[in-house]
Amino acid sequence: MKDSNSSSSSNRTEPIAQNIIKLISNLCFSLFVFSVLIFTVIAITYQPPDPWLQSTPALTNLFTQSENATFRIDSSVLRTGEDLSPSPQDPPLPPPPPSEPLIDITQQQIANSTVNSTADSTAYSTDAQPPSLPACDETLNCSNPRVLIAVQRFNLRAFKSIAFFDYQPPMNGSVPGECDVAWRFRNKRERSWRKYRDFRRFKIAVTDDCRYKVVHAGGWHSGANARRNVTRTGAGRGGKSLPPRASARDDEINDTIPTLGSDTNFRNGKYLYYSRGGDYCKGMNHYLWSFLCGLGEAMFLNRTFVMDLSVCLASTYNPSNKDEEGKDFRYYFDFEHLKETASIVEEGEFLRDWKKWDKTHLKKKKVPVRKVVNHKVTPMQLKKDKSTIIWRQFDAPEPENYWYRVCEGEAAQYVQRPWHAVWKSKRLMNIVTEISGRLDWDFDAVHVVRGEKAQNKELWPHLDYDTSPDVLVEKLKWMVQPWRHLYIATNEPYYNYFDKLRSNYKVHLLDDYKELWGNTSEWYNETTLLNSGKPVEFDGYMRVAVDTEVFYRGKTRVETFYNLTKDCKDGVNTC
């Protein structure tokens, strides 16, 4: 009893401060647990505002509403595999800024090229000398190796944004003292391995100490004697064979349709076949997002993807404001690179071989086909399917019939879109290179967005004024040096709209180069051949593609929504 009373007395005399400390610590711990619980709930339920990760309605809205810093999403050019090196499951990223160095693998390829190629032995080393140089001769001889060395050194100093490859032996120019030289090259801002051709005329002088130097260099494609000859088949008048014709045609493009070969090859293959869905006649970015979903699933299933080369160009790219069917995939994208990168077969070729097999094997078992009528059947469920053909059919109403629905949800963790497989058409890029080359790769560029956006005062209240000629002159004088070559990429339809800038700059617009796709151009001839002899229109998407790519090659680049106006690129309150 005494002990009990003593204990009670001790409890009553326990310091009040100690009780307060315990209370505070318990309260803090409770707050910590509660905050962790709140954070966990938010982390689980929060949906990031990434349009590629949103639901189907959000994606539908993405592909039909305005987007991008310059063009509407339906009129924009998606950055493709030659522009970037993304993780395959990621959406395309913007190109790197000009200050970033080339990726290491490209530097290594260039180094290997200069070491292994005799023609390139001095292309990247201004100190290198070929063996057994002839004695000095005051009379210029274009075949003298020192001439080529002088040209190579000049090019490295004059065109720092260009990587040079495969110099050809110099040819005599039109008068003594001139030499024509051809080479292949690549712009250092491009991450593809594709090369382009140039040939220029150089005036060469021999110095007193027996050195050769370039005293004048001609412009783009000025060295006509170094242009390779193309043999023309057939006979002319009187049965005489036609002489070789000089041409700048890119004979490295090989976008012929591959064939399956024998019946055995067809039967032993494994195919993924997508029927045409609601993606047809949608914007080009929507089309690519869906196409790469199908191609990615084929790669995941280790199957050959059956590809429809027919593209429907959405109305947003056409002056008629109507969808145009029957466009060829090869007009816009590099089919040669695609078939080298992925296992594909053209739809018409595939259907003919399929029909032929079933017709000639009536008494035997027909080709096993697995028809999949719902996009909710995931690629993971089809992984072990043994059927020769997996045929996905998209007959549901929109948006349930979009190809990209196959890659949503859990499938996004397994199916990776092969962005690296899609490059822009080499024919379009040849036009880009031609324009940039004519400007000697030394120009600035401004992107002026007008069109419908400038007229929509509700979404872009200041755009029309901020892109008016007087305001452009005032703003650009702080960004671009006077009398520089200025390329204007724009959707402004009135050609003379930018005439006031001509008092300060050497202005260039896409329409200044119409002959590059006119009826005497190589582009016109080659696309006509692709189109069974019928001329191909240089349509709105092609214009935007070329305009955008030339813009990205400018040394100083001025954007509309980052430099010219405070309006938000997607409208009011979207910054």
Residue 57 is inside which H or E element, if any?
helix 56-64
CA distances from 239 to 191, 230, 232 (A): 48, 19, 14
**Is 90 exceeded by the pLDDT of residue 536?**
yes
Q: Contact at 8 Å (CB) between 167 and 120?
A: yes
Instruction: Give the residues across from 184 on adjacent strands.
Output: 165, 197
pLDDT of 519 > 90? The answer is: yes
> Could you tell me how far CA 441 lies from the centroid of its own chain?
19
| Tokens describing residue 565 | 């106006």
CA distance 519 to 528: 10
Confidence of residue 48 (pLDDT cuts 50, 70, 90): very low
pLDDT tens sequence across 174-230: 999 999 999 999 988 887 888 999 999 999 998 877 788 999 999 999 999 998 754
Q: pLDDT tens for residues 355-370?
A: 888 777 766 678 899 9
Distances in whole angstroms, Cα of residue 433 to Cα of each of 158, 541, 572:
17, 18, 37
Taking residues 167-175, report their average pLDDT. 93
Report whether pLDDT(235) > 60.
no
pLDDT score at 47: 42
Least confident of 81-95, 280-294, 330-344: 81-95
Write the pLDDT tens digit of every residue in 378-424.
999 999 999 999 999 999 999 999 999 999 999 999 999 999 999 99
7 pLDDT more than 60: no
* In contact, 353 and 266? CB cutoff 8 Å: yes
- Report whether pLDDT(16) > 70: yes
User: What does DSSP assign to residue 517?
Assistant: S
Cα torsion 196, 311, 341, 285 to 10°: value is: 90
* pLDDT for the residue numbered 117: 35
Q: How many residues are listed for the chain in this entry?
A: 575
For residues 228 and 439, which has the higher predicted lDDT (pLDDT)? Answer: 439
pLDDT of residue 139: 75
Q: What percent of the chain has pLDDT over 70?
A: 75
SS3 content of the chain, % helix, strand, coil (to 5): 40, 15, 45
| Buried-state track 372-389, b at ≥16 Cβ within 10 A, e below 16 | beebeebbeebeeeeebb
Higher pLDDT, 177 or 8: 177
State the DSSP code for 479.
Answer: T
pLDDT reported for residue 375: 93
The average confidence (pLDDT) of the chain is 80
| Of 154, 153, 166, 181, residue with least CA distance to 117 | 166
Q: What's the rounded Cα separation, in Å, for the pair 541 and 353?
A: 34
What value does the mean pLDDT take over residues 567-571? 89
Task: Tell me the HSE value of 64 on the side-chain side, using a 13 A CA sphere.
Answer: 10
pLDDT level of residue 46 (50, 70, 90 thresholds):
very low
Comparison of pLDDT for 113 and 292, the residue scoring more: 292
Distance of CA 561 to the CA centre of its chain: 22
Taking a C-beta distance cutoff of 8 angstroms, is the pair 443, 554 a contact? yes
Question: 537, 480, 192, 529: which is closest to 334 by C-alpha?
Answer: 192
Q: Is the pLDDT of residue 95 over 80?
A: no
Q: What is the mean pLDDT of residues 520-537?
A: 94
Q: Which of 67-76, 158-167, 229-238, 503-512 has the lowest mean pLDDT?
A: 67-76
- What pLDDT does residue 41 have? 63
Instruction: Reply yes or no: is the peptide bond before residue 95 cis, omega within 30 of 0.
Output: no
HSE-up (13 A, CA, CB side) for residue 378: 10
Residue 330 pLDDT > 90:
yes
The residue whose two tokens read 């326990």 is: 14
What is the spatial distance between Cα 21 and Cα 19, in angstroms, rounded to a whole number?
5
Answer whether 524's CB lies under 8 Å from 536's CB: yes
Please determine, for residue 260, whether its predicted confidence score (pLDDT) is greater than 80: no
Residue type at position 351: L
What band does 252 get if pLDDT is binned at 50, 70 and 90?
Answer: confident
Q: Could you tell me the two tokens for 408?
A: 């949503």
Say which residue the tokens 């001839």 belong to.
525
pTM, to two decimals: 0.76
For residues 539-551, average pLDDT:
94
Nearest Cα to Cα of residue 139 among 78, 206, 86: 206
More confident residue, 513 or 21: 513
